[in-house]
Structure 1
């Protein structure tokens, strides 16, 4: 997973990620408050032992974290198909590209730890 942390004087702390993981970057930039990163790290560290699944619902993105993977899904994926069918005459459709992304548990934990260290030292 490729990423770059940026400290922008106007936008604050930001992360840029590859297109494949753009939703993960959006989740870090927009959904996860800085003060929650340490709490999430601590809770997520127990997942390999407990084998439980953790779900974090944000305003626009849901994180489902297990001891194997981190799955990010935009809430737009969960719209009922009958809602979209009302617009069939207008030739509109839901573009699912960029609405789901995932990575392994270890990669996610490395990213989260690096993000935590970056935002706390700057």
Structure 2
């Protein structure tokens, strides 16, 4: 998983992710407040030890974490789209699910969050 941390003078701390993991970056930028990062890292440690599953419903993205993986799903993935699709049926257009879900291994996600936590801590 490729990522780059940025301190934007206007938007603050941001992460840029590879195209395959853009939803992960969106979740990190928009759903997890900077002050919540240490507590969330502790929750990840608990998931690793207990092997329980953690599910967080964000404003736009649902995160499900198990001891093996982290799965990100945009709420748009579950919206009833039958009416929207019927509008485009004559044009042979279809709505794409690309970018509406992403996943990564638990270790990769944990490493990302630890790096993110360190980046925020050093830049304050």
TM (normalized to structure 2)? 0.90
Matches of residues 103-122 of structure 1 in structure 2 within 5 Å?
A: 103-122=104-123
Q: Secondary structure at the match of 1:15?
A: strand
Partner residue of 1:67?
A: 67
Q: Offset of 1:83 from its aligned partner?
A: 4.3
Partner residue of 2:35?
A: 35
| 8 Å Cα contact 2:15/2:25 also seen in 1 | yes
Q: Deviations over 1:16-74 (max 9, x none)?
A: 11001111011111111111111110011011221111011111111100000000010
Q: Offset of 1:82 from its aligned partner?
A: 3.4
Q: Offset of 1:10 from its aligned partner?
A: 1.3
| 8 Å Cα contact 1:22/1:98 also seen in 2 | yes
Partner residue of 2:6?
A: 6
Q: Secondary structure at the match of 1:115?
A: helix
Q: CA–CA distance in 1 between the matches of 2:49 and 2:25?
A: 27
Range moving further from structure 2, 49-58 or 86-95 = 86-95
Q: Offset of 1:80 from its aligned partner?
A: 2.3
| 8 Å Cα contact 2:85/2:95 also seen in 1 | no
Q: Which runs of 5+ in 2 are unaligned?
A: none
Spell out structure 1 runs of 4+ moving beyond 2 A: 80-94
Q: Offset of 1:97 from its aligned partner?
A: 0.6
Q: Which runs of 5+ in 1 are unaligned?
A: none
Q: CA RMSD in A?
A: 1.5
Q: Offset of 1:93 from its aligned partner?
A: 3.6
